[in-house]
Amino acid sequence: MLQKRVIVCLDVKDGKTTKGVRFKGNVEVGDPVEMAEEYYRQGVDELVFYDITASHEKRGIMLDVVRRVAKKIFIPFAVGGGIASLDDMRAVILAGAEKVSVNSQAVKNPQIIRQGAELFGNQCVVLGMDAARDAAMPSGYRVYINGGRTSTELDALEWAQEAVELGAGEVVVNSIDADGTREGYEIPLTRLLSTSLEVPVVASGGAGRSQHLIEVLSEGKADAALIASMVHIQGYTINGIKSDLSNAGIPVRID
């Protein structure tokens, strides 16, 4: 049976893991390579490294992080943040990443999804999408870019469908309303996307307790749940969370 995945997201700034609340005010929480190794030991299914380094000159630091991670952990991991060209994609894939996550740049230039999928395969290209509730939109959710700071005219469901059509092999949907609140995922948004798209959907934003993952993986029909502060700050362990999921009847990988 296909297992539901627990994915840990590490926001990396200047080579250090940070964690923010509602896209604002980041605090440093540790070394990304050491943290990745620890989560790997605890049985995490996948990792996402999101480069939030502001300056372009410092992007080399991130590639170094990716190379060091690839030597130590043998599970899939994705890299996102500032991926604007096929060269950016190639660089992180050659550094050892399994997947590349495109977000704002894909909104500005959707063809990067198609080109990336043609060159590296659909399974390599992940659409990251930040969305917030907006009654004016057909699906009830509007897409935001630039780390949630800039609104777009795109409807969340329509954009996700277009991205899948262009070749995205997976969609990570991050709720701006829920992000950093620790009050639970945005279930209706996740469920809408997961039941409408033919590719796996990863829920992101709002996890604070194991119960939140249980809800989004059952009621929300997500294929995977992304967490950050639960393990970075709140002291949860991956094995602990997975054991809670398993006890609730969610199929998860426990070795």
Partner 1 sequence: MKRVGVVDYDAGNLTSVTTALKFLEADYIISSRPEELEETEQLIFPGVGEARTAMQNLRSRGLDQFMRDYFQSGRQMLGICLGSQIVLSKSEEHNTECLDIVPGTARRFSRSSRLKVPHMGWNQVQPVRSSPLFADIPGGISFYFVHSYYPEPQADSAVLATTEYGITFTSALQLDNLHAVQFHPEKSGKWGLKLLQNFLNF
Name the residues that contact partner 1, by CB under 8 A: 1-3, 5, 40, 43, 45, 70-71, 74-76, 93-96, 98, 120-123, 169-170, 198-200, 223-224, 253, 255
Least CB distance to partner 1 at residue 200 (A)? 5
Least CB distance to partner 1 at residue 206 (A)? 22
Among the listed residues 254, 177, 190, 183, the one whose alpha carbon sits nearest the alpha carbon of residue 6: 254
Q: Is 31 a catalytic residue?
A: no
Choose the catalytic residue: 88, 130, 179, 223.
130
In terms of CB distance, is 2 or 136 closer to partner 1? 2
d(CA 139, CA 86): 31
Least CB distance to partner 1 at residue 20 (A)? 28
Least CB distance to partner 1 at residue 144 (A)? 26
Distances in Å between the alpha carbon of 174 and those of 18, 20, 180?
A: 17, 14, 11
Choose the catalytic residue: 11, 51, 88, 179.
11
For 204-236, give one letter per residue: b (16+ CB within 10 A) or e: bbbbbbbebbbbbbeebbbbbbbbbbbbbeeeb
In terms of CB distance, is 209 or 253 closer to partner 1? 253
Q: Is 130 a catalytic residue?
A: yes
Q: Which residues contact 52 (CB under 8 A, 6 or more apart)?
A: 11, 12, 13, 18, 26, 81, 147
| Residues annotated as catalytic (active site), given as ranges | 11, 130
